[in-house]
Structure 1
Amino acid sequence: MDVSMNTFAAGSFYAQLECITPGHTGIVGVAENATVPTQRGQLVIGETSARVVFFFDYKGQAQGRIHFRIRAALKGSWRGATLGVSGDGSLSLNTPEYEADDWGIVPLNAWGTGSKLEFSLQTRQGRQVGLHSERRLALGAEPVGVFRPTLRRG
């Protein structure tokens, strides 16, 4: 399903994320070696991950970004885990008790009928999510991640 600006103006949504950064493509998921959410599940792209559907809980707009609280949704052992940052700057899913922060989606293209949304992801403070060579998502890594959502039912 195509995602338009109206999707975001309407509020929250469920989506699977695909990374479309050249040389770093694949579905975003939890690293297979991650333990069930007793602590954290590192987010990676590609075939070495368990796919995750995310719930984007709309929080508002400011400074060219659309703000969401993001957590794992639907079935599975990671249900309810929130998107956060590990001590080394890697993105991870954390236990629901973890104090979650909001994330900013920065549109990278014009949206409209027939166009697919592409965006970068930032912390509320404006730190970009990028990609390490080992396919993990991390703050400040290069290149900057470009993502495309595929809407899912909640």
Structure 2
Amino acid sequence: MDRAFLGGKKKRAGAALVRALQHLNKASFNLSLTQVPPENDADIRIYFIDTDGEAPISGRNINGVDGQTVKGARVLVWADEGTITRSVIIFGTRLNIRSYESAMLEEITQALGLLTDIRNPDYDGISIFSQDSNASKTLGPQDIVALQRHYPPE
């Protein structure tokens, strides 16, 4: 986490991560998510980078991140023969602190392979996949069904 996020933003980001994992783990799909310390090798890595999205990120030495532009939040997913091998989530400085909870939940869900946002006002405030709104801070019914269908019980 870059210095631009220290203080209240860091606390809010940490709380957003905890809540996102709680919501996802309550969704009853065939995965369980656990937060690990930053020094551990995680399948999903989350970075808070001091970038306003006007120029590509450079000099970070984070595989896949250099060269990307991020105004709010963005997810990158790598897969091998249909199996996700790792994901990276990047938060930039232009994302409003009030949007952290929604964006964290959305980006982690997308890191699991559900990458498509939906641009339709009927999804605003109801689904984390809404392209035009960060109003939803929980998984909507259709979000849960999508996760359960993507990761069905064994």
- Alignment TM-score > 0.5, same fold: no
TM-score, normalised with respect to structure 2: 0.29
Q: Find the structure with the greater CA-based Rg.
A: 2
Structure holding more strand per residue: 1
Structure holding more helix per residue: 2
Report which structure shows greater RCO (CA 8 Å, sep ≥6): 1
